[in-house]
């Protein structure tokens, strides 16, 4: 028997029309680096999104399913593109501006982007690549930046795309649009994985997946934001839709504070001080930088009730540091393939105020109803949720990818190492799940250290090292070892002006992890190499070790 309920499609369009109408006075504030920030209401941004859609349709000929790329920082214009392209039936493709340029060129070609909207400040990055991006017909430039770099001659035989100024292009056009009725399963946006452990792969989000994910992001179990909040969106809009914030905010009227290109610790501290956001979202490496800045030039950041930390494991020491500043950290886990909210660490009611509370908070968090999880052991066996059996995490749900984009004429790709035969996403993350559904990750399948038949968690060693008062950052990778197969190599970055004897660090670790896990190989460095989205780039460290370019001390 079928239900008697209405079957109304869940679309990005609906989020847009709701946000502009019901929450029309909520604001997007974009940091400009000097003088007053740019302030725009949701109603204004919605009207400009309609103007942009008219321009894309009438002037640039964008049609259903065409890819509209963005190469932009977090700002109001990027939010306008977030709504204009999907709501008119096109597909928003956010480009990661920190990727190696060859990957960027490959991704644009693979997605066959027709239009790219680019921030003027990023033209020096884009201009020299355009002759290698034949699918791009139009470049729309937004914000300050020297347009002259686009005048250079194209490569021999190369075509020059048409260049438009964003404001001139949308100016004078109607501020409402007769948005088409869309199928909720159709593509709304796409994002390629940042390739921490392999080649970039395209994930295509549907209108429905974005709608449902936004509801989850807004739930009390997740970020629980309302129109009384202002969220500082540090996590880039080019990285998994800024963890869903630009959509979740329009659903419930949450004000957005956008840092644009000012992502260094000093301006971030300034904008928190000046604009008093109540929430912020970023990867741990950003927070490490901000805390160092605050240690040097203290500022009051107590306006932040809550910060969401994810993308890589939140070191417990970071959580403690924030606790001391009166800011609650909510640790979350996710991936490009999971939209990204997979888990979030709100402690259960019975643990609040007890000794158990912190232990729950440092886990990757609890699964919401929309994400089903299971653990698979090395031989394909299902492992119990007992908090100790560690296996690869597999997930499924309405905002989890079922395949990767196969290119214009290609079939969707379902590589066997990423999707199980029965359609679950294999995350490549190894961990345990407690009986009450809290995930604790111990490693990535590709990073775990396989030493003499036992697994050593690189994450556990890193967290233990980063609890040392003189260590700013620590990364641990597996290196080949004749006797044990693999052993851990620890690379540490000391805080300014300090050095500690490696033997002392080993002794410090010995109090925290099993003796057979203690690294013999140690490297002191000035910075841990990072990927395009600020995660430790362990591929690079392993390569440096193999090439013999690291100054290794053996204990």
Residues lying near ligand ADP in the complex (CB under 6 A) are found at: 193-197, 310-313, 331-336, 364, 427-429, 441, 444, 533, 535
What is the smallest separation between the CB atom of 192 and ligand ADP, expressed in angstroms? 9
- CA-based radius of gyration for the chain: 24
Which residues are annotated as catalytic? 193, 337, 450, 455
Q: Which residues pair with 391 in a beta bridge?
A: 431
Cα separation, 242 vs 75, whole angstroms: 11
469-508 burial, b for 16+ CB within 10 Å, e for fewer? eebbbbbbbbbebeebebbbbbbbbbeeeeebebeebeeb
Q: Are strands 341-344 and 328-334 parallel, antiparallel or unpaired?
A: antiparallel
Task: Label residue 207 exposed, middle or buried (CB < 10 Å: 0-12, 13-18, 19+).
Answer: buried
> Nearest-5° angle of CA 230, CA 242, CA 271?
40
What is the smallest separation between the CB atom of 95 and ligand ADP, expressed in angstroms? 14
* Torsion angles phi and psi, residue 124, rounded to 5: -60, -25
Nearer to ligand ADP, 188 or 313 (CB): 313
The answer to whether 367 touches 375, Cβ cutoff 8 Å, is no
Can you read off the two tokens belonging to residue 472? Answer: 């700013």
Q: Which residues pair with 456 in a beta bridge?
A: 449
What is the smallest separation between the CB atom of 307 and ligand ADP, expressed in angstroms? 13
Nearer to ligand ADP, 299 or 530 (CB): 530
Cα separation, 73 vs 100, whole angstroms: 17
SS (H, E, C) 252-303: HCCEEEECECCCCHHHHHHHHHHHCCCEEEECHHHHHHHHHHHHHCCCCCCC
Nearer to ligand ADP, 365 or 488 (CB): 365
What is the smallest separation between the CB atom of 313 and ligand ADP, expressed in angstroms? 4
Closest CA to 203 of 319, 329, 336: 336
Cα separation, 228 vs 235, whole angstroms: 21
What is the smallest separation between the CB atom of 279 and ligand ADP, expressed in angstroms? 17
Nearer to ligand ADP, 163 or 321 (CB): 321
Q: Which residues pair with 382 in a beta bridge?
A: 376
What is the smallest separation between the CB atom of 438 and ligand ADP, expressed in angstroms? 12
What is the smallest separation between the CB atom of 40 and ligand ADP, expressed in angstroms? 28
Can you read off the two tokens belonging to residue 366? Answer: 């609890």
Q: How far is CA 6 from CA 186, 210, 269, 443, 520, in A?
A: 19, 20, 48, 44, 64
List, in sequence order, every beta strand (DSSP E) within 362-435: 365-366, 372-376, 382-383, 391-396, 425-433
Nearer to ligand ADP, 265 or 428 (CB): 428
Nearer to ligand ADP, 27 or 110 (CB): 110
* Torsion angles phi and psi, residue 50, rounded to 5: -65, -45
What is the smallest separation between the CB atom of 427 and ligand ADP, expressed in angstroms? 5
Closest CA to 101 of 130, 77, 143, 68: 130
Nearer to ligand ADP, 89 or 289 (CB): 289
Q: Using CB positions, name the residue nearest to ligand ADP.
A: 196
DSSP 8-class letter at 351: G
Q: Which residues pair with 94 in a beta bridge?
A: 70
What is the smallest separation between the CB atom of 198 and ligand ADP, expressed in angstroms? 8
Q: Which residue has the tokens 């296996």?
A: 391
What is the smallest separation between the CB atom of 448 and ligand ADP, expressed in angstroms? 11
What is the separation of C-alpha 526 from the centre of its chain, rounded to a whole number of angstroms?
A: 25
List, in sequence order, every beta strand (DSSP E) within 23-145: 27-30, 38-41, 67-71, 91-94, 115-119, 138-142
Q: Are strands 391-396 and 372-376 parallel, antiparallel or unpaired?
A: antiparallel
Number of Cβ within a 10 Å radius of residue 537: 17
* Torsion angles phi and psi, residue 384, rounded to 5: -75, 155
């Amino acid at each position: 028997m079928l239900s008697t309920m209405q079957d109304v499609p869940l679309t990005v369009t609906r989020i847009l029309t709701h946000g502009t109408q019901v929450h029309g006075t909520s604001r997007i504030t974009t940091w400009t680096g000097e003088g007053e920030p740019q302030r725009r209401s949701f109603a204004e941004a919605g009207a400009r999104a309609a103007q942009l859609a008219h321009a894309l349709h009438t002037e640039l000929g964008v049609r259903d399913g065409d890819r509209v790329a963005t190469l932009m920082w977090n700002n109001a214009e990027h939010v306008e593109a977030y709504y204009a392209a999907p709501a008119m039936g096109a597909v928003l493709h956010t480009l990661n501006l920190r990727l190696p340029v060859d990957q960027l060129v490959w991704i644009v070609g693979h997605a066959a982007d027709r239009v790219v909207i680019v921030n003027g400040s990023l033209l020096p990055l884009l201009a020299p690549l355009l002759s290698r991006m034949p699918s791009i017909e139009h470049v729309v430039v937004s914000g300050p930046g020297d347009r002259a770099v686009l005048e250079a001659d194209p490569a021999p035989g190369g075509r020059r795309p048409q260049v438009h100024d964003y404001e001139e292009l949308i100016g004078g056009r109607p501020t409402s649009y007769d948005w088409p009725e869309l199928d909720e399963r159709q593509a709304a946006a796409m994002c390629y994985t940042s390739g921490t452990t392999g080649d970039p792969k395209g994930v295509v989000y549907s209108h429905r997946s974005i709608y449902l994910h936004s509801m989850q992001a807004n739930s009390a179990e997740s970020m629980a934001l309302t129109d009384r909040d202002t969220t500082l969106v540090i996590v880039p809009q080019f990285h998994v839709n800024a963890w869903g914030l630009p959509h979740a905010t329009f659903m419930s009227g949450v004000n957005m504070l956008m840092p644009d290109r000012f992502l260094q610790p000093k301006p971030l501290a300034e904008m928190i001080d000046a604009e008093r956001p109540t929430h912020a979202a970023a990867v741990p490496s950003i927070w490490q930088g901000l805390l160092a800045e605050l240690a040097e030039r203290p500022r009051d950041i107590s306006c932040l009730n809550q910060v969401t930390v994810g993308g890589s494991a939140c070191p417990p020491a970071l959580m403690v540091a924030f606790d001391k500043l009166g800011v609650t950290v909510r640790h979350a886990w996710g991936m490009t393939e999971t939209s990204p909210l997979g888990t979030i660490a709100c402690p259960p009611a019975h643990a609040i105020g007890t000794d158990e509370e912190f232990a729950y908070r440092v886990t990757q968090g609890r699964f919401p109803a929309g994400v089903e999880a299971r653990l698979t052991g090395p031989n394909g066996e299902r492992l119990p949720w007992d908090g100790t059996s560690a296996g690869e995490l597999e997930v499924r749900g309405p905002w989890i990818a079922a395949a990767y984009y196969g290119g214009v004429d290609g079939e969707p790709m379902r590589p066997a190492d990423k999707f199980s035969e029965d359609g679950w996403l294999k995350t490549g993350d190894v961990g345990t799940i407690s009986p009450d559904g809290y995930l604790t990750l111990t490693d990535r399948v590709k990073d775990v250290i396989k030493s003499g038949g036992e697994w050593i968690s690189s994450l556990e060693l890193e967290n233990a090292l980063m609890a040392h008062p003189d260590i700013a950052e620590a990364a641990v990778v597996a290196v080949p070892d004749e006797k044990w197969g693999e052993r851990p190599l620890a690379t540490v970055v000391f805080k300014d002006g300090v050095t500690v004897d490696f033997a002392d660090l080993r002794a410090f670790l010995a109090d925290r992890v099993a003796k057979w896990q203690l690294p013999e190989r140690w490297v002191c460095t000035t910075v841990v190499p990072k990927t395009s989205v600020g995660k430790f780039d362990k591929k690079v460290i392993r390569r440096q070790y193999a090439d013999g370019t690291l100054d290794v001390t053996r204990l």
